[in-house]
Amino acid sequence: MLKIYNTLTGKKDAFEPLVPGTVRMYVCGVTVYDYCHIGHARSALVFDVVRRYLEYSGYRVDFAKNFTDVDDKIIKRANEQGVSCDAVTAKFIQAYHEDMGRLGVRPASIEPKATEHMAEIVRLTETLIAKGLAYQVDGDVYFEVAKYGDYGRLSKRKMDDLQAGARVDVDERKRHPMDFALWKSAKPGEPAWPSPWGQGRPGWHIECSAMSIRHLGETFDIHGGGMDLIFPHHENEIAQSCGATGKEFARYWMHNGFVQINQEKMSKSLGNFFTIREIFEKSEWPETETGEMLRYFLLATQYRGPLDFSDQALKEAKNAANGFYDLFARLAETGGSASGDARLNPAIERCTAAFRSAMDDDINTPVALAALQGLRSDLNKLLAEGLSTEARRAAREAFRSLGRVLALFQLDHWVFNVETGGPVSLASEVEIERQIAERTEAKKRKDFKRADAIRAELAAQGIIIEDKPDGTSRWKR
């Protein structure tokens, strides 16, 4: 059984979804004012793998990951460049999708934007005011932290010890320094939307509550993000969401650790970060191999632990991945003697059991990789004894199946159709989902000509799209 370290309880909890067979998961996405760095890559890949493993385990996963597309940093960047906020966010949402595609990260099934959910944000804020948990001051609306008795239960902080944290402005109009903004009154030159309290825009925290409740319901299974979001962002999400609905918000809280440079957290404010694009641009290897190297590097450490970034660590990851690809090249050769065939299935079964045991233990990817390394070692011995062509295909399929859970070992130069032996492109899965996401956006804009064109492009590749009543789409070959 899958166990997940739940930040809320402080221990590994057995995972049982609220609705049998279906997992609803929300992950805090990026604020789209700049290119993503390697820290963003880690969070994106971690929760992509969580999703993949849940699907591998037989669950349907409704996965929402938002874009924060209204924020002080976006407004500042737009003013610096003399363009609209929409131009800034459109540029960096596209860049995000490009970077994630290079990393093999699939688009979320739902990718909501804050600016598209103003009605939900306003309604949630109105509910909090009506329940006496929020108050209005000069067109601003604040959540009153002292009115929510369980405040601090995620971060394990006590009200008496709390200090103003990230994104908490000192404001004498607030009843308590930790009260946080649900709605901000309009300032000259800033984007604004109508509300019962006048023109303005939402606070950061209320956006995620409104979007997750809208798409996943008042209570859902997993909420994820980086450890830096535990306080105040996720703490505030719990307070306002539970306060408004009277129900538990998310049942399992997962947080990935930081990426560090020389034992220091990587961040834009410290200036010690590398964008995903910079890593690809400076790499001496082809783009597909660089993506594989980065994925292997990021997954070689358990997701909750710190990860130290260095050129040497990337080279070691590349060497480890190359060891697998050397094996795959040998497996692609025509088989001969079948002396080792009888021992192949037991080796695959041992690997699969060890892999699943590792992933069931709080998504322990380094131990899962060790299981795959064990199968690689076994296969090198079996190849020395002799494996038939059919056995080699079975071995390739085992690596393909388990590798897809980790978004690894999908490069076209070794992936073959199990039945015909001919090459196929499994890496196109990410591109297919990117095109479907683009089609969904086109339909929202009522650009049906573009939506139909994308459907035709996919049909030409043998991909059938099935539109669901809720506006999302699924596909099959």
pLDDT for position 428 = 54
Q: What is the per-residue pLDDT for 454?
A: 87
Give residue 268's pLDDT.
Answer: 65
- pLDDT, tens digit only, all 477 positions of the chain: 999 999 999 999 999 999 999 999 999 999 999 999 999 999 999 999 999 999 999 999 999 999 999 999 999 999 999 999 999 999 999 999 999 999 999 999 999 999 999 999 999 999 999 999 999 999 999 999 999 999 999 999 987 766 544 344 567 889 999 999 999 999 998 999 999 999 999 999 999 999 999 999 999 999 999 999 999 999 999 999 999 999 999 999 999 999 988 777 776 667 777 899 999 999 888 888 899 999 999 999 999 999 999 889 999 999 999 899 889 988 988 878 899 999 999 999 999 999 999 999 999 999 999 999 999 999 999 999 999 999 999 999 999 899 999 999 876 444 433 333 333 444 356 778 888 888 888 888 888 888 888 887 887 666 778 887 777 677 876
- The pLDDT score that the predictor gives to residue 41 is 96
State the pLDDT at residue 462: 67
Task: Please list the residue range(s) of the chain that carry CATH number 3.40.50.620.
Answer: 3-261
CATH code: domain 3-261 is 3.40.50.620
Q: What is the pLDDT of residue 359?
A: 98
pLDDT of residue 421: 38
CATH 1.10.730.10 location in the chain: 283-426
List residues bridging with 397 in a β-sheet.
Answer: none
Q: Residue 167: what pLDDT? A: 46
Assigned CATH for 283-426: 1.10.730.10
Instruction: Report pTM.
Output: 0.86
